[in-house]
Amino acid sequence: MRNLRIVGALVIAVLVGAAGAALLANIVRRQEEARNPFYRVVELTDETQDPAMWAKNFPQQYDGYARTVDQVRTRFGGSEAWPRTPTKADPRTVVAQSRLEEDPRLKTIWAGYAFARDFREERGHAYMLEDQTYTERQIAAKQPGTCLNCHASTYVAFKSLGGGDLVKGFEKMNALPYAEARKLVTHPVTCLDCHEPKTMQLRITRPAFMEGMRALKATQGVRDYDVNTQATRQEMRAFVCGQCHVEYYFKGPEKRLVYPWANGLKVDNILAYYDAQKHRDWTHADSGAATLKAQHPEFEMWNQGIHARSGVACADCHMPYMRVGSLKITDHHVRSPMLNVNRACQTCHKWSEDELKARVLTIQERTFALRNRAMDAVVALIGDLKRARAGGRGDHELAAAQELQRRAQFLLDFVEAENSTGFHAPQEAARILGEAIDFARQGQLALRDGRR
Amino acid sequence: MTGDTGVADGSARIARIRHTLGAAVVVVALAAGLALGISAYTFVYAHGASYLTNDPKACANCHIMREQLDGWIASSHRAVAVCNDCHAPHDLLGKYTTKAVNGFWHSVAFTTGRFHEPIAIGARNRAVTEGACRTCHAEIVQLIDRHPTRSGPLDCITCHRSVGHLH
């Protein structure tokens, strides 16, 4: 009995000692980690493009960045890795699924435009340059160097092209043919596109965003707005993404990249801007309408939603903070929050992962159902216009219906091309789709009644 | 433990057993002393005494609650309540029992690294906080909380979660 007690006491003493030592070791390690948030191993300059160099100083952030190669599906987005046989013209062995095959109505809506030839689900940041270089849209139409603004790390190339002047370099690259401009860049978006290398502070490096924000702020009574000196740190956590995840067009023969925000960020403001500019992206092959293509307006749509209003930036959900030891870092694995619900949502919303996913899915399914109705309506109008033309009615007779097609189609595309299936601003997305349906049906009525 | 052979043989055996027992006690005492020493050192090194105070900074000693502390600094309750006012019972025994229980489980969680992130309040601590709301805001709670709903009494935190700190 007594022996047993002694052994028991020994076991307890050993366990307590071991637990105390483990706790102590853990505390010491955490304190060590907290002492130095990073180690300066290499000197980074404004010319250091290669992310592998930045990785030496910031290995945790780089690990996340490198993981944007992941191809994971979500219910309405993400990308699937489709194997393909490489050809001489296109050496890719893996691509994302084709959106045109998924929904052939898109081919009708974009008839006569390069998007009707090849349009795939977007893959992660790591693929942006490769996927643009080899898309069949390059064959369907002669693309300008402007495209590279958002598909490559252009900061260093802009500066060297412009002899140190970023805006001059931007203008020069826009005017080059794509193939020539492509030779000037090597990486997809890299560290220095968003970070100042000395302080790591966020910065804007895309002149189109600087100009777009200046025009937008002017409508709010702020003159000569300079985003790099006047934006708050939290604003910058959305603005760096807004440099590319926006609606845009190429202005004039010099193909200048312009963000159409001079009237505001809402779809109606943007449409009014294009109308005033008398801009069309292309002439619709079936209907003859002066049509527009909306491009991933995530920044604009997010701006109309509750998260933007509450001061939640893109990075809060798409690059949420994560703890590594005692350090708090930004997860540089940019991805859908649906693949990272605990960090992306649960920091603010204390509900179970299933509940949060169900809420998002409800919004997206409703948006998707309405989007399908809007798409049917636009396709129906295009069909009516096509038949009217085939029946010999001239463009002057069809002007009212063509104008309504332009509007309906742009509104629909604004939600369709936006990569949140309505989540960034659910009511706004529903409003836009509702109006798109109305415009398309009005167009059919105009044809029936012979309105011009 | 009695000898069952001859008398001479028996006394030698008793002496041997005593000797062994004595050695075992020394080993246990050494182990216990070592455990105590390590624990005491850990306690001092980890600023253990600070956890017995009401200083909010103590709660962010181990990094994990820095966001909560930052949030509290920017919150409306900063002027009237520190961490302990909402997260520890107001009686002395309850307060230090809660601190001891939480201290133990937090140490286990952080040492093993097994815990859910972002951190979330557990049922026991949530009840403590709910009690704190009701103590300070007793007058208004009495006016609201007359009719229990079908799912039980009303709960302050469900709607007013962000008053102490946003996350």
Q: What residue spans define the domains of chain B?
A: 1-45, 63-163
B17 touches chain A (CB under 8 A): no
Check pLDDT > 90 for residue B9.
Answer: no
B21 touches chain A (CB under 8 A): yes
In the predicted model, what is the mean pLDDT of residues B85-103?
Answer: 95
> A130 is written with which tokens?
């490769």
B116 touches chain A (CB under 8 A): yes
Q: Who contacts A448 (Cβ-Cβ below 8 Å, separation ≥6)?
A: none
Question: Pick from B25, B38, B66: which is nearest to A20 by CB?
Answer: B38
Check pLDDT > 60 for residue B2.
Answer: no
To test the contact with chain B by mutation, choose from A2, A14, A23, A324 the residue with the greatest count of B C-beta atoms within 10 A, namely: A23
Q: Cα separations (Å) of B115 from A196, A402, B64, B120, B128?
A: 35, 60, 11, 10, 21
Output phi, psi for A149, to 5 deg: -45, -40
d(CA B162, CA A171): 48
Residue A19 to residue B117, Cβ atoms within 8 A: no
Question: Pick from A2, A3, A343: which is nearest to B118 by CB?
Answer: A343
Name the minimum distance, in Å, from the CA of B31 to any CA of chain A: 6
pLDDT digits 0-9 by tens, B106-145: 999 999 989 988 898 999 999 999 999 999 999 988 888 7
Question: Pick from A2, A21, A28: which is nearest to B38 by CB?
Answer: A21
The pLDDT, as a whole number, for residue B3 is 47
Total Cβ atoms within 10 A of residue B98: 17
Residue B31 to residue A14, Cβ atoms within 8 A: yes
Q: Cα separations (Å) of A214 from A185, A218, A220, B29?
A: 27, 6, 10, 75
The pLDDT, as a whole number, for residue B149 is 65
A14 touches chain B (CB under 8 A): yes
To test the contact with chain B by mutation, choose from A3, A5, A10 the residue with the greatest count of B C-beta atoms within 10 A, namely: A10
User: Which chain B residue's Cα is nearest to A343?
Assistant: B118
Residue B42 to residue A342, Cβ atoms within 8 A: no
Instruction: Tell me the DSSP string of A211-250.
Output: HHHHHHHHHTT--S--HHHHS-HHHHHHHHHHTTSS--EE
Output phi, psi for A177, to 5 deg: -65, 155
CA atoms within 13 A of residue A435's CA, in its CB half-sphere: 16
- The segments of chain A whose pLDDT lies below 50 read none
pLDDT digits 0-9 by tens, A146-177: 999 999 999 999 999 999 999 999 999 999 99
What is residue A75's DSSP assignment? S
> A363 is written with which tokens?
């919004």
To test the contact with chain A by mutation, choose from B14, B26, B39 the residue with the greatest count of A C-beta atoms within 10 A, namely: B39
Asked if residue A329 lies in contact with residue A321, where contact means CB atoms within 8 angstroms, the answer is: yes
Residue B31 to residue A10, Cβ atoms within 8 A: yes
Domain boundaries B63-163, CATH class: mainly alpha
A311 touches chain B (CB under 8 A): no
Name the minimum distance, in Å, from the CA of B36 to any CA of chain A: 7
